[in-house]
Amino acid sequence: MTTVFTTMASPLGTLLLSGTVDDEHGFALTAVTAPRQKYALAEPAADWQPDPDALAPAVEQLAEYFAGERTAFELPLAPVGTEFRRRIWESLDDIPYGTTLTYGQLADAAGQSPRAVRAVGGAVGANPLLIIRPCHRVMGANGSLTGFAAGIDAKRWLLAHESGSSAGLLF
């Protein structure tokens, strides 16, 4: 299995996209990270191979998202994480474009006890597929813009973009 990467310009800055390629399974996207994102590589690892062609569908779909032409992603995904985290990340896929829910609501949607809200928050914060898996749509219990690994300004921009009110906003 080979890890491949590319970068793309975005309103949030240069995004780093990585994925895996192998003969048996083909390509799968493993991470999308933004500049200054907590707990994420800022640069490709030394053994990663540049491969813009393998990542072209992801770049194209992200460009369409930023242009307001795409509301959902259709990509093979293979994020690395525990079973619990993968279950929470998969639940993020069910949050409709332009809407938000709380960490408690996400816990419920993922079949977790309301007491698991901190663990759910930790899983959301560790989401390696920024934007693709819309962790920016998860809010605090009181509707506040709590934690986002790429920063609250990025979260605010993404939510404004999805609500259609991002015209003129600069990140």
pLDDT band at 57 (very low <50, low <70, confident <90, very high): very high
What is the predicted pLDDT for the residue at 168?
45
Are the C-beta atoms of 152 and 166 separated by less than 8 Å? no
DSSP classification of residue 64: H
The pLDDT, as a whole number, for residue 115 is 84
How confident is the model at residue 167, as a pLDDT?
Answer: 52
pLDDT at 81 over 60: yes
- DSSP code per residue over 111-168: T--GGGHHHHHHHHHT-SBTTTS-GGGEE-TTS-----TT-HHHHHHHHHHHHT--TT
Q: Residue 71 CB: number of other CB atoms within 10 A?
A: 11
By annotation, the residues acting in catalysis are: 135
**Mean predicted confidence (pLDDT) in 132-148:** 89
Pick 169 or 13 by higher pLDDT: 13
Q: Rounded mean pLDDT of 9-34?
A: 93
Q: Is the pLDDT of residue 67 over 90?
A: yes
The mean predicted confidence, pLDDT, of the chain is: 91
Of 3-17, 55-69, 87-101, 105-119, which range is least confident? 105-119
- Residues 90-122: pLDDT tens digits? 999 999 999 999 999 999 999 888 888 899 999
Rounded mean pLDDT, 115-141: 93
Residue 87: burial class (beta carbons within 10 Å; 0-12, 13-18, 19+): middle
What is the rounded average pLDDT of the residues 129-156?
Answer: 90
Average pLDDT score over residue span 148-167: 86
